[in-house]
Amino acid sequence: MKQFKAIISKHKSSQTSSSQQVTPSTTPTNKSPATTQSIVMSSAPLSGKVAVITGGTKGIGASTAMLLVKLGAKVVVNYGRDSAAAEKIVSQLGSDKAYAVQADAGSVAGVEHLVQETVKKYGKIDILIPNAGILPMKTVESTTEEDFDRTFNLNVKGPFFLVQKALPHMAPGSSIVLISTTLCHASVVQGPYTLYCTTKGAIEQLTRLLSKDLLASKGIRVNAIAPGPTATDLFLEGKSEQVLKMLASFSPANRLGKPEDIAEGIAFLCGPGSGWVSGQTIRVNGGFA
C-alpha cells in the first residue's frame, strides 16, 4: 500500500511539473505562429496521367474518356471497327488530349498492338481500363461454342492479357479498373444472362488476385466497377420497352443508370482519393443490388 501511495504521489508531482513546463508564457515573442497546412482540391487531379480505355468510343467508355480528360488526363481510346465514332470522340476531346487506336481488344495480338501504340505516343500508361465487352442473351441450352469463345475472349481474355502487356509500362501508383456487373449479385437475373455473368464473375476474381499480386510487387492498385442496368447501346439492344421499365423499377430511383454515372465511379478509382482502395468491386447501381 505504501508503495502504491508513493507511485501516486510521484505521478502527481510529475503532472504538476509537466503542466508548469507547458504553461504559455505571457512574455511577447518574435516567433511567428505555426502555420496550418491547407488542403487544396485540384481541379485537374489526373494532370500528366495517361489512360487507356478499350471500347472507348461509346457508352461507358466514351463517358469515362470525356471525364478523365476533364480531370486532366490524356486518353487513348481503343475501338474495333467504328472509325467514325473514334474520329468523333477524338474531335470532341481534342487531338492534343485524345488518341484513337484500332485493335481487337479480345485477342493477345490486338491488346499488344494497343499497348505499343500508346507507349509510342505517350511513353507510359498510368491508368488502364479494359472496358470493351459483349452481352449475349443466351441460355445455357442455346449457347454455342462460338458464343462462348467470343464472349470469353472479349470479356476475360482481352482484359487479362491487356494487363500483362501494359505492366512493363506502368509505374508504382498506377491504377487498373476492370469492369464487372451488378447482375452477378442480383437475385432477379434470369437464365439468358448466364454466359455474360460467368465472364464477369471471372473478372471479379481476377480483380482480387491481381490486387494482391500487383500492389505488393509493383505498387499498382487493381479494382473493379460493377454497373447496374445502364442505358448503353450494349445493354439496350434487344430489350423491349416493357423489359426496360421493369429493370428500371428494380432501382429505388426508378431509372436505369447513365454512362456518366458509371464514369464517375471509374474516375474515383483512378484518382488520388482512392489511394487506399484495392482489390474491391464497387457496385455503382443506384441501390439495384
pLDDT, position 228: 86
- Specify whether the CB–CB gap between 74 and 50 falls below 8 A: yes
The residue assigned the cell 431509372 is 255
pLDDT, position 286: 87
pLDDT, position 34: 41
pLDDT, position 21: 41
CATH number of 50-284: 3.40.50.720
Residues with Cβ < 8 Å from 208, sequence gap 6 or more? 279
pLDDT, position 186: 63
pLDDT per residue of the chain (289 residues) written in tens, 0 to 9:
444 444 444 444 444 444 444 344 444 444 444 433 434 456 899 999 999 999 999 999 999 999 999 999 999 999 999 999 999 999 999 999 999 999 999 999 999 999 999 999 999 999 999 999 999 988 999 999 999 999 999 999 999 999 999 999 999 999 999 999 877 666 666 778 899 999 999 999 999 999 999 999 999 999 999 998 898 988 888 889 998 998 898 889 999 999 999 999 999 999 999 999 999 999 998 887 7
> What is the DSSP annotation of 191-244?
GGGHHHHHHHHHHHHHHHHHHHHHHHHH--EEEEEEE-SB-SHHHHTT--HHHH
Hey, what amino acid is at 151? T
pLDDT, position 239: 85
- By CB atoms closer than 10 A (0-12, 13-18, 19+), residue 59 is buried
Hey, what amino acid is at 219? G
The residue assigned the cell 485493335 is 103
User: Cell for 150?
Assistant: 467470343
- Specify whether the CB–CB gap between 247 and 190 falls below 8 A: no
**Residue 44 CA from chain centroid, whole number:** 17
Element (H, E) at 10: helix 2-22
Longest CA pairwise span in the chain (Å): 91
